[in-house]
Structure 1
């Protein structure tokens, strides 16, 4: 079958996810994108752009899109001729943390709500994300002064499920390369933004450094126009310990850095799945992850005690232990690398393509039965 993939924010994990699905799918998927910038304007305006540029929607059996677009606007502009839509939620404004000094714009949360209502199928990228969304949504609806659509939570939940994203790495990698000699390498491979909490990361490194433990530092991950002050200060603070500083656009070179890494650290306060953590483990890095968000979900339970930390003190303590004696932990590297192979696109693509099959089948069945896509919600009483 033929599908249209609308990605209004084509960068980072959104870009990798879209490219991976298109490349591995047994279906014909046409990708239409907008650059990964001005996310607020994308949520407001991407629907207007795509409605005029994607051509005849009758040529497609279905549509895939992600959350940074108003699906309600798009479907309205398509004059009722939109094929069934699968919505993949990498993130949602309902649960996204605010940057320092920023106030929540409730219109973006409302766009989450109406987009989810307009989708025929919704996939969340982790159980953690799914749970937090449905915990937060009733509270948002409750803030409305009257005519509160409490029925919406049940309608959205009825068509939602969890499917971890595929990852673009070699599923046939047999064994991580031996760690290179010299001081162990600490890897940061996350976005350089506030929600990844770099201050806590560099604070832990500073404590380890003051213990007299030697290490090297590779600062990878995508950077924005405005770098957090923590990175600029770290460049001065750690000096020659930093062997790489800045985004590495070449996938092969990025992978080579991961293969050299001893430990990859996350201090995120926002992470709905954790592709960076999965990639680092797949290529041989030991993980050091907070005991929150999606990390307990993606790290196998038998490793929680060793590699999940409870707070900043626990992070510094566990990081110091790994860097002092990496050889005591190295036997875990091939086990974790093998476990992460389950996230390769080749391992998950059948489940994704089955979702597309079901998307089209369910629309055909509803059409045959004479029902629309939102009948479950139309008949429910408003409890304003």
Structure 2
């Protein structure tokens, strides 16, 4: 099957998803991507830009059996601008995030046009895929709430039609090698989220201050992507914990990023918002012990029996208590796993690309076959 993939924000997790799938897929792919720049502008213009590119490729003799895009594309607008032949093809939109429930510190300034773009894209698509059940449920709930506040023609029944074609397909992660025996030393703590307020860095650094006050020894790596406006707490924390830091800032290469994950003993999240948690899954796959707030998509990642040890209530106080416990295990036994280092890794093994790519390939074939019938 020949697939046309359109990605207005071809970088970061969006690019990793497409490249990871395409490189293992049994389908043939044409990927059209735009650089990671000015996301609002990308959502505004990408339908027009891609329509021009795709129409030209059709003229040059290219053909496809299906279209795949991310939530950043105005799919309805794109389909209105391309050759009638393309409008007949089955389409899938993959929601990495959405503009209905994505946190905005300045809620009164939220541009509702982007939320409506997500709505019309979901309506236009043959299949609507989400990276987690939490994401799907919060989007549909947010969409119903969003439309209910419109002055008239609320179209609430259309949300049911979107729900009927919604499916959950997680992204994949690369396979990490089995860790070598741990070198003695303090507990190595990793924070690998975006440097933004919705990841609640204040909670994380407050917990570390409490850990520091307890007298526990530890090392610290704070990595993850950064943008122009970085919360001031990071600069303050960099100064405060300067004697504890191993890695600080975005890791410029994949090898540097993976090295930081493999070195970490524990991956901590304090997120108030997370649709999936790819860096957490990668860190666990690399052998890190997870400490996660018991909310958002995290219970899906490590769901099932015997996982309570990996969760906390979201407060810095309880997070600190669990970190203290881990430092005690490290200092006494140089081990935090009690002899079973695969307890968390086995829970996320289903997210490895070798498994996920086949699931995605089969899902696409099923959708196309159903569309043809």
Q: CA deviation at 1:200?
A: 1.0
Q: What is the aligned counterpart of 2:369 among 334, 356, 361?
A: 361
2:333 counterpart of 1:329: no
- Quote the residue 1:285 is aligned against: 288
Task: Find the aligned partners of 2:83 and 2:34 in 1 and give their Cα distance.
Answer: 22
Q: CA deviation at 1:340?
A: 2.2
Given the superposition, is the C-alpha separation of residues 304 and 341 from structure 1 closer, same or farther in structure 2, using an over 3 Å criterion? Answer: closer
Structure 1 unaligned segments of length 5 or more: list them: 366-384
- Quote the residue 2:7 is aligned against: 7
Q: What is the TM-score of this pair, normalised by structure 2?
A: 0.93
Task: Find the aligned partners of 2:305 and 2:220 in 1 and give their Cα distance.
Answer: 28
Task: Find the aligned partners of 1:198 and 1:167 in 2 and give their Cα distance.
Answer: 24
SS in 1 for 2:109: coil
Q: State whether residues 302 and 347 of structure 2, in contact with CA within 8 Å, keep that contact through their aligned partners in structure 1.
A: no
Task: Find the aligned partners of 1:309 and 1:102 in 2 and give their Cα distance.
Answer: 32
Q: CA deviation at 1:332?
A: 4.4
Task: Find the aligned partners of 1:258 and 1:102 in 2 and give their Cα distance.
Answer: 38
Q: State whether residues 123 and 162 of structure 1, in contact with CA within 8 Å, keep that contact through their aligned partners in structure 2.
A: yes
Matches within 5 A, 1:40-51: 40-51=40-51
Matches within 5 A, 1:244-283: 244-283=247-286
Q: State whether residues 47 and 69 of structure 1, in contact with CA within 8 Å, keep that contact through their aligned partners in structure 2.
A: yes
Q: What is the TM-score of this pair, normalised by structure 1?
A: 0.90
Given the superposition, is the C-alpha separation of residues 337 and 254 from structure 1 closer, same or farther in structure 2, using an over 3 Å criterion? Answer: same
RMSD of the alignment, in Å? 1.6
Task: Find the aligned partners of 2:283 and 2:108 in 1 and give their Cα distance.
Answer: 32
Q: What is the aligned counterpart of 1:188 among 175, 187, 191?
A: 191
2:304 counterpart of 1:297: no
Matches within 5 A, 1:227-242: 227-242=230-245
Task: Find the aligned partners of 2:82 and 2:244 in 1 and give their Cα distance.
Answer: 55
- Quote the residue 2:96 is aligned against: 90
Q: Deviation string for 1:283-330 (max 9, x for gaps)?
A: 111001011000011013334321111131211211221123234632
Task: Find the aligned partners of 1:345 and 1:112 in 2 and give their Cα distance.
Answer: 27
Q: State whether residues 270 and 314 of structure 2, in contact with CA within 8 Å, keep that contact through their aligned partners in structure 1.
A: no
Q: What is the aligned counterpart of 2:212 among 209, 234, 241?
A: 209
Q: Deviation string for 1:326-365 (max 9, x for gaps)?
A: 3463234322223322211101211111122123222322
Task: Find the aligned partners of 1:292 and 1:356 in 2 and give their Cα distance.
Answer: 30
Q: What is the aligned counterpart of 2:157 among 131, 151, 166?
A: 151
- Quote the residue 2:170 is aligned against: 164
Q: CA deviation at 1:79?
A: 4.3
Task: Find the aligned partners of 1:302 and 1:27 in 2 and give their Cα distance.
Answer: 37
Moved more, 79-88 or 39-48: 79-88
Task: Find the aligned partners of 1:324 and 1:114 in 2 and give their Cα distance.
Answer: 53
Q: What is the aligned counterpart of 2:228 among 201, 225, 228?
A: 225
Q: State whether residues 25 and 349 of structure 1, in contact with CA within 8 Å, keep that contact through their aligned partners in structure 2.
A: yes
Task: Find the aligned partners of 1:27 and 1:86 in 2 and give their Cα distance.
Answer: 15
SS in 2 for 1:244: strand
Q: State whether residues 67 and 87 of structure 1, in contact with CA within 8 Å, keep that contact through their aligned partners in structure 2.
A: yes
SS in 2 for 1:72: helix
